[in-house]
Amino acid sequence: MPDIVAEIRSPSTWRFDIGAKKAAYERHGLSELWLVDSVAYAVLIFSRSKPNATSFDLALELGRGDALESPLLPGFSLAVSELYPQ
């Protein structure tokens, strides 16, 4: 299992990605899940507050004015607006 998974919204699979797939990642110990919602121009982040947390216990929604960062990627920062060029 990787430390981070990023899923890009697809109209045909979004319900699966946000539901069963997210639950499977959580169950198998994924540390952080990024769901890039190209309809809402947002990134949903689900993570664990501690490495031994049994589930995603932190949730965050980032919009165009925010930066995508992760403690798992020191020094990485991406403006969410870069994901959705005009």
Domain CATH code at residue 75: 3.90.1570.10
Residue 68, pLDDT > 90, answer yes
pLDDT tens digits, residue range 16-59? Answer: 889 999 999 999 999 999 999 988 999 999 999 998 899 999 99
Entry pTM: 0.91
**Strand positions, DSSP E, 1-86:** 4-8, 32-37, 42-47, 58-62, 67-68, 78-79
Domain with 35 in it: 4-83
Q: Which of 24, 29, 74, 73 is nearest to 47 (CA)?
A: 29
| CA distance linking residue 75 with residue 54, whole number of Å | 27
Number of folded domains in the chain?
1
Nearest to 37 by CA among 65, 3, 62, 2: 62
Does residue 1 register a pLDDT over 90?
no
